[in-house]
Each structure stands twice: as structure tokens, then as C-alpha cells.
Amino acid sequence: MTTQTATTTMTPPRTEPGSDSRIGAVLRVHTVAWPLLIAWPVAILASSFLISYTIYFLVDNDQEEGFTGSVFSVYGFVLAFYLQAMAQTFPFTLGMSVTRREFFSATALLALAQSAVFAAALYLLSVVEAATDGWGVWMRMFGLADYLTDNPLLQFLTIFSTLLLTTAIAIAAGAIYQRWRATGLLAAGVGVLGLGGIAAIVITWARWWPAVGDWFADSPRALPLVALPLTGTAIAIAVAWLALRRATP
């Protein structure tokens, strides 16, 4: 049998040209149950929309636009989705011989695309909302970003960058868990809390709060609304990769 099989043996490991990387394959694993990916956020938004709409309709709201806050459910969904991706899809794909680099690249790509699609959808819904006097009942569900700026592009980018930041934090938390388990998460939580606390103490001690407030008020809107979340995203993604590159599920 050895001689007969020797010829098949030495055909070098299969490498179809152009398919060297499995980033595309990992993307397809993320989206293999795509109804889950699309149907859930749509269902969450639709049900909270219907509930809010009914309430606004019943109470005959006709003066101030009331903000429902249910748009934050999208952020919650994104957080849950990427925590699950790190907790389960990562060990699954790694078990299927995917490299950490391939998994990470695919997940980051998905995060970019998903944030862009969700941000576009939310922005378009906010435009419709504004055009229809809050769906005819002065309800404000999607128009979160236009509290902060009138620039349409900035509104879109604000939603996009904050969604991306949420995703990046979920990926970083998941990566820290995969590398150092609960101890790592707790340590990271204490670390972030500690840094925030020290910053608050220093700012208070130096009486910098008015200056901080001025910065947020005076700097170009794009800085706090887009550049700040994107900086946070970059930091979280860097932390995530440092943790994940040697993580063993």
C-alpha cells in the first residue's frame, strides 16, 4: 500500500492559487446564519419602534419631540454579536485550523462593513423621521445624531464611529477573555476604572473641568463626535490584537 499511495502523498499541500487566505471563508462563517445577523437587529428595532409608536399615538403627543432611546438597542445587539463571535466563533474557527490573524482580519472587516450598513440605515431612518414630523406623532427614535450636529455627513459618521467603537470594545473584551480568561477581564475593568478615576482626580485637582467643557463645546464638531470614537476604536483594536495573537481557546 505504501508504494501505491506514495504518489498521492507527495503532491504538495493543496494550495489553489488565489485562495491562500481564508479571510473570505471566515467572513462566510460569520454570516453563515445570515438571518440571525439581519433578522435580529431588524426585529429588535421594529418591535421597539411599534411599542414607542403606539405609546406616542395613545398619549396624543403633539408638542415637544420626545427621544425614545430605543436606537441604543442596535448598539446592544452589536455588543452581543461580537462578544459571541469572540467567545464561540473564534474557538470554532481556530479549531477548524484558521489562524488568529485570519480570524481577526475577517472579524475587523465584518465590523467595518456592518457598522457602515447599520449607520446608513439609521441615518436614512432619521431623515425619514425628520421629514414626517416624527412619524406623525412627534416621536424621535432615530434622530440621535442631529441633536449634536446639522451636518448630514457628520451625523452619519457619528453613528458609524460610535457603532465601530462599541464593536471594538466587544472584540477587545472577548480577546482579553480568550487570552487571560475572567482574571484578564477583571484586571482590564479595574485598570480602565482606575485610569478614569485618576484622570478625574487630576482634572478636578487642577480645576480643568471648565477647560474640558470648553474643548467639547469649541472644537470642531468632528473632533469629539468622530475623531474621539475612532481613536478609542484604534486603541481597543490594538489591545484586542495584542491579546488575541497568542490566545489559545
Partner 1 sequence: MTVTAIDAEPIVSVRGLSKRFGDVTALDDVSLTIEPDKIYGLLGRNGAGKTTLMQILTGQDTQTSGDVTVLGGTPFENARVLRNICFIKESQTYVDDLRVKHVLAAAGHLMPGWDREFADRLLDDFQLPLCRKVKKLSRGMKSTLGVIIGLAARAPLTLFDEPYLGLDAVARHLFYDRLLADYAEHPRTIVLSTHLIDEVSNLLEHVIVVDGGRIIVDDDADALRRRAVVATGPAETVDAFAAGARVLHRESLGSQARTTVERTATEPERALLRAAGVELEPVSLQDLVIATTTGAREITA
Q: Amino acid identity, residue 37? A: L
Least distance from partner 1 to the Cβ atom of residue 33, Å: 5
- Which cell numbers hold the place of 150? 446639522
Which run of H or E residues covers position 66?
Answer: strand 66-67
Which parts of 38-79 are beta strand (E)?
Answer: 66-67
Residue whose CB is less far from partner 1, 4 or 63:
4
Spell out the residues 6+ positions from residue 6 whose beta carbon is closer than 8 angstroms to its own.
none
Residue whose CB is less far from partner 1, 122 or 244:
244
Residues lying near partner 1 in the complex (CB under 8 A): 1-3, 5-10, 13-16, 19-22, 25-26, 28-29, 32-33, 36, 84, 88-89, 91-102, 245-246, 248-249
Least distance from partner 1 to the Cβ atom of residue 47, Å: 19
> Can you tell me which residue has the cell 432615530?
142
Least distance from partner 1 to the Cβ atom of residue 248, Å: 5
- Which cell numbers hold the place of 40? 435580529
Least distance from partner 1 to the Cβ atom of residue 190, Å: 23
Residue whose CB is less far from partner 1, 83 or 130:
83
Residue whose CB is less far from partner 1, 9 or 63:
9
Least distance from partner 1 to the Cβ atom of residue 167, Å: 18
Residue 197's alpha-carbon distances to 9, 25, 82, 194, 236, in angstroms, are 62, 43, 27, 5, 19
Least distance from partner 1 to the Cβ atom of residue 44, Å: 15
Residue whose CB is less far from partner 1, 27 or 227:
27
Residue whose CB is less far from partner 1, 33 or 58:
33
Distance of CA 201 to the CA centre of its chain: 30
Question: Which burial class, exposed, middle or buried, applies to 119 when counting CB atoms under 10 A from its CB (0-12, 13-18, 19+)?
Answer: buried
| Nearest CA-CA partner of 154 in 71, 217, 223 | 223
| Nearest CA-CA partner of 41 in 67, 84, 70 | 70
